[in-house]
């Protein structure tokens, strides 16, 4: 059977398992995707209808690739291969009216969410410099992922910060309901509400999806876990794949316990370990294994490979981040001279901010590159403008879209006019669009302004007269009726910028055309859904020959022949915000493991002796993770200005209480030495203003813990909310 050709005994065991729960613990590069797709093919070969199979991945790109692979084995008509969010959106489009929503609801992306939160904060007169909107969004998202309602959150809120979040959360959800909109988290929550409130709907989908496969199960949050349990509860034919060692999204709600406790949830589950790596060299795997085995909370497995030993891991110590970037470019150009393609090379970093210096160095040396996770195509201003017109065509209650385009292109409807419209609408118990359509009834708005509002209302009314497809035609009508191209040409942003934006608009029309061609029964609603659920990885373009730049988080699931991991320093990797928790340090170690295991043939690790943070240059120490790699597989290259030590790993304590490195002569590895904790400073109180040597001025939100673990949560004006151990924080009252 072709399905079982060229597979290992372990892969075969996972493929042919038929009924009952199955856990596949798949190490990095172990052929997991091959096993999943062949398992789907095997189920269909045993008489299971594709209509009864659901496969869930974490990116649209992965879903598409899986669907294409399944095609090789048999007809897959009726098979659902989807992300969690796309699956939930699809279910809700069919049944959300049972919860009192319209099936034409809007999906708010992160930019829309930010816009709403900022508006609420302005309403409550909250300073966005003191209260970071993204921090508040993260707190709300965390609550939603744990299925904590606004009422539950308010009831349990303690502390200055959480009390304000509770108020914003309640108002935010009210506005979403008014706008007939859902954010990404709501797609999951409303699906759960639907299943729990309407047993007939749940039963319908349980009967349909008799066999369920969930990829990257270690990355599921509580809401996704709940949806999976509900759907699988009837037939229990649940197959999950994943690797606890690659659980790196705890900061956005992913719960490693979902995969760690699978056997508790399903005591009769079969467990299959995929430990053979087909991707990396022996040296790369040895480095990765040496690091990850330091974690206590994991499932024991030993990844191995039949691949060659390969090059040693080259560790480059640089004087500062600029020297680091220049050295990376030199090494990349040396690779190019060996006839290695630029597209075979990737540069990973812990934070997006690190990319600026790297990009500059690449540009200065004419090295082509593509940045993953920068300003995505669908987040560009001109694209968001046109999408907003399309959203209003589908859902006239979408006030975020309405506010975006009411004066775009400029038509003389300023903020004060919008304020008057909103005030009048409130007196009528109506929304903003109602006020726009009835502007003649508002005495405060007259003359040219009233005429401009009427013309805008006519544009929206015209769009509503158009048929639901093709989407390309709706977009062209929006561009034509608003004179949007003329607006771009006359924007005053320079000829080059204007041409780039016009090209983006043209590409947007091309995207709509492509959608119309691919979906004969498609709609504007469907197109918007496709766009809303696009991820950074989904937007990756294959470039002819360019180096790829991305964060370590974005790199998961990818592979490259040559990988650079930059900024391998304490406070970066592991990140400074992980230092107050061993659990967080373990996640940072998993992140490091993920980065290393992306490399196929060669791995470079770089760090800087000095780095500028928040405008201040400070000394750095090499990451503790470097100290966990056996010395014999490392080739160290010292490019610093120091001449006072024999090894680039001998770092001086920078007085932040962080690890420095020494040599353990018995193990011949670099090991971290913890500095003794400083004495705990005097007690602090909620609301106090404090000063930190790196993050500057901030206000204390919460004081917790005792003795060596005494900690504070501080909202800094430049660094956002940080949790700090008082023993190490060097915090003082301002």
Catalytic center residues? 32-33, 215-216, 246, 598
Tokens of 695: 């993050």
∠ CA(425), CA(136), CA(575), 5° rounding? 155
CA–CA distance, 16 with 38 (Å, rounded to integer): 9
Q: How far is CA 339 from CA 333, 336, 546, 565, 599, in A?
A: 10, 5, 14, 22, 18
Tokens of 709: 């673990």
Under a CB-based contact definition with an 8 Å cutoff, are residues 319 and 609 in contact?
yes
Residues 6+ apart with CB under 8 A from 544: 343
Tokens of 249: 């999204």
Main-chain phi, psi angles of 318, to 5 degrees: -120, 160
Q: How far is CA 687 from CA 160, 499, 630, in A?
A: 8, 50, 47
CA–CA distance, 180 with 177 (Å, rounded to integer): 5
Under a CB-based contact definition with an 8 Å cutoff, are residues 725 and 584 in contact?
no
Tokens of 475: 């977009």
Q: How far is CA 575 from the centre of its chain?
A: 17
DSSP one-letter code for 730: -
Would you call 54 helix, strand, or coil by DSSP? strand
Task: Give me the DSSP letters along 581-592.
Answer: -HHHHHHHHHHH
Under a CB-based contact definition with an 8 Å cutoff, are residues 438 and 402 in contact?
no
Tokens of 100: 């009192």
DSSP one-letter code for 396: T
∠ CA(348), CA(354), CA(360), 5° rounding? 100
∠ CA(539), CA(542), CA(546), 5° rounding? 115
User: Rg of the chain over CA atoms, in angstroms?
Assistant: 27
């Amino acid at each position: 059977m072709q399905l079982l050709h060229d597979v290992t005994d372990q892969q075969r065991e996972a493929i042919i398992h038929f009924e009952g729960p199955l856990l596949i613990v798949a190490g990095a590069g172990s052929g997991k995707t091959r096993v999943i797709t062949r398992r789907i093919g095997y189920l269909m070969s045993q008489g299971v209808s594709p209509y009864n199979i659901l496969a869930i991945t974490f990116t649209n790109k992965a879903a598409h690739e899986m669907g294409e692979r399944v095609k090789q084995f048999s007809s897959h008509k009726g098979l659902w291969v989807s992300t969690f969010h796309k699956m939930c959106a699809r279910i809700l489009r069919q049944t959300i009216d049972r919860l009192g929503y319209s099936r034409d609801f809007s999906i708010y992306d992160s930019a829309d969410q930010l816009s709403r939160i900022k508006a609420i904060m302005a309403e409550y007169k909250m300073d966005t410099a003191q209260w970071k909107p993204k921090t508040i969004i993260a707190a709300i998202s965390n609550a939603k992922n744990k299925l904590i309602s606004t009422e539950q959150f308010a009831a349990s809120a303690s502390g200055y910060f959480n009390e304000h979040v509770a108020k914003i959360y309640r108002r935010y959800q009210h506005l979403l309901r008014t706008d007939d909109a859902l954010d990404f988290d709501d797609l999951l929550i409303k699906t759960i509400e639907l299943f729990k409130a309407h047993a007939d709907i749940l039963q319908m989908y349980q009967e349909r999806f008799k066999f369920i496969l969930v990829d990257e199960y270690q990355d599921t949050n509580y809401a996704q876990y709940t949806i999976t349990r509900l759907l699988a509860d009837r037939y229990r034919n649940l197959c999950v794949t994943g690797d606890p060692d690659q659980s790196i999204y705890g900061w956005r709600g992913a719960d490693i316990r979902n995969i760690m406790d699978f056997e508790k949830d399903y005591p009769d589950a079969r467990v299959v370990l995929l430990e053979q790596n087909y991707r990396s060299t022996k040296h790369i795997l040895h480095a990765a294994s040496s690091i990850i085995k330091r974690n206590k909370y994991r499932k024991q497995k030993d990844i191995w490979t039949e691949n060659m030993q390969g090059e040693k891991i080259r560790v480059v110590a640089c004087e500062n981040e600029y020297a680091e970037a220049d050295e990376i470019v030199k090494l990349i150009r040396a690779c190019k001279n060996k006839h290695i393609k630029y597209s075979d090379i990737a540069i990973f970093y812990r934070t997006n901010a690190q990319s600026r210096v790297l990009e500059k160095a690449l540009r200065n040396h004419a090295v082509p590159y593509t940045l993953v996770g920068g300003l995505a195509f669908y987040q560009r201003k001109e694209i968001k403008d046109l999408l907003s017109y399309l959203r209003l065509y589908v859902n006239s209650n979408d006030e975020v879209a309405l506010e975006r385009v009411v004066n775009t292109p400029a038509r003389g409807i300023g903020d004060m006019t919008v304020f008057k419209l909103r005030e009048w609408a409130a007196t009528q118990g109506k929304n903003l669009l109602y006020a726009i359509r009835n502007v003649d009834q508002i005495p405060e708005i007259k003359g040219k302004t009233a005429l401009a509002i009427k013309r805008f209302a006519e544009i929206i009314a015209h769009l509503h007269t158009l048929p639901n497809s093709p989407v390309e035609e709706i977009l062209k009508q929006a561009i034509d009726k608003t004179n949007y191209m003329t607006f771009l040409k006359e924007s005053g942003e320079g000829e080059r910028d204007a041409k780039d934006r016009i090209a983006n608009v043209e590409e947007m029309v091309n995207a709509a055309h492509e959608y119309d061609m691919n979906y004969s029964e498609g709609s504007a609603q469907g197109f918007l859904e496709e766009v809303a659920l696009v991820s950074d990885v989904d937007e990756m373009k294959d470039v002819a020959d360019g180096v790829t730049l991305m964060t370590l988080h974005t790199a998961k699931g990818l592979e490259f022949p040559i990988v650079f991991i930059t900024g391998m320093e304490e406070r970066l990797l592991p990140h400074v915000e992980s230092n107050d928790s061993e659990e967080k340090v373990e996640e940072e170690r998993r992140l490091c493991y993920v980065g290393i295991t992306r490399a196929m043939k060669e791995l470079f690790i770089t760090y800087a002796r000095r780095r500028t943070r928040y405008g201040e240059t400070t000394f750095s120490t090499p990451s503790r993770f470097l100290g966990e790699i056996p010395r014999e597989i490392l080739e160290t290259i010292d490019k610093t200005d120091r001449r006072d030590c024999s090894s680039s790993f001998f770092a001086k304590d920078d007085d932040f209480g962080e690890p420095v490195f020494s040599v353990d002569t018995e193990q011949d590895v670099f090991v971290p030495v913890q500095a003794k904790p400083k004495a705990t400073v005097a007690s602090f109180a909620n609301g106090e203003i404090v000063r930190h040597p790196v993050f500057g001025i901030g206000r204390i939100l919460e004081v917790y813990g005792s003795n060596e673990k005494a900690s504070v949560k501080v909202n800094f004006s430049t660094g956002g909310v940080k949790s700090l151990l008082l023993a190490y924080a060097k915090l003082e009252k301002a």
